[in-house]
Copies of this chain bind each other. A is one copy, B any other.
Amino acid sequence: MKFSKIPTATITRLSIYSRYLESLSQEGVKIIASDKLAQKCGINPAQIRKDLAYFGEFGIRGVGYFVKELLFEIKRILGLNKTWKMALLGIGNLGSALLAHQNFIRQGYEFVAVFDVDPAKVARRVPSGQIIHHMDDLEKVVREKGVEIGVIATPAAKAQMAALRLIASGVKAILNFAPIQLQVPEGMAVENVDFTVKLDNLAYNLTMGEG
C-alpha cells in the first residue's frame, strides 16, 4: 500500500476540510488560505498544510488554494470520485433516518440494498424506494448489487452476527451504529458511530468543570 503511512487523523481532517470547501464552492468563493480554513475547521493552519503535503503541493505561495481544485484533489485522495454502494442492515428508527438522509447520495454514498428480519417489514418498500430484503438473502443480494460498505443499525445483540454475515458476503468495510466493539478479522475496515461515547465525554467535561 503506497500511502499506508498517512495518519488516520489526517484522513479524518481531509474529510472535514472537504465539507467546508464544498460550502465555499457553493458560495462561489474562489480562493482560500490555510489560515481561514484552519479557523473555520478549528484546526492549526500548519496542520492543514502538512496534511495536504502528504499528497502533493496544491497551493500557491503568497495566495492560498483554489477552492474547486483543492476540493477535487481531496475527494480524489479520499476515493470519492465514484459512488460507493452501501447496504443497510436494520430498518428501525435510526435506519429509517439514515435512508431519509439526502446528504449521503450527494456526497457519493448510496444505499443499494436494505435488510431486516421483521416479517412486518420484509418485502415492503421504504420511502426512498428500496425493497426490504430478508437477512437470509444478504449474501446473494450483496453480491448481485455489488455492495462495498455495510451499515449496521440492528440492535446491539444482533450486530456481531450481522457483521459476520457481511464479512462472509465479501464486504470489506463496515459502519457500525450498535454500541458494541465488533470482532472482525484482519483487513476489515470498521468505523463505529457511538453517540453515547460522545455524551460520556461531555458528561466528563461538565463534571470536571465544576470540581
Write the residues of chain A forming the contact surface with B, with a CB cutoff of 8 angstroms: 1-4, 8, 11-12, 14-16, 18-20, 23, 40-42, 77-80, 84, 93-94, 96-98, 100-101, 103-104, 107-109, 148-149, 172-175, 179-181, 183, 187, 189, 191-209, 211
Contact = CB atoms under 8 A, between A and B. Distances in A.
Contacts of A80: 200, 203
Given A42-B181, A189-B206, 12 more contacts: A4-B208, A16-B181, A79-B203, A94-B97, A96-B97, A104-B196, A108-B203, A149-B199, A173-B205, A175-B198, A189-B201, A193-B193
B207 A8 contact: no
Contacts of A198: 175, 191-193
A203 B4 CA distance: 14
Given A41-B181, A78-B200, A197-B12, A208 B84 contact: no
Given A8-B201, A191-B201, A180 B78 contact: no
Contacts of A203: 78-80, 84, 108, 149, 173
Contacts of A149: 199, 202-203, 206
Contacts of A194: 15-16, 19
B19 A103 contact: no
B199 A84 contact: yes
A8 B9 CA distance: 15
Contact of A40 (B1, B12, B181): B181
Contacts of A211: 2
27 contacts: A1-B208, A8-B201, A11-B200, A11-B204, A15-B197, A15-B201, A16-B181, A16-B194, A18-B200, A19-B179, A19-B196, A19-B197, A78-B204, A78-B207, A79-B204, A79-B206, A84-B203, A94-B101, A96-B97, A97-B97, A98-B195, A103-B179, A107-B196, A149-B203, A173-B202, A173-B205, A191-B201
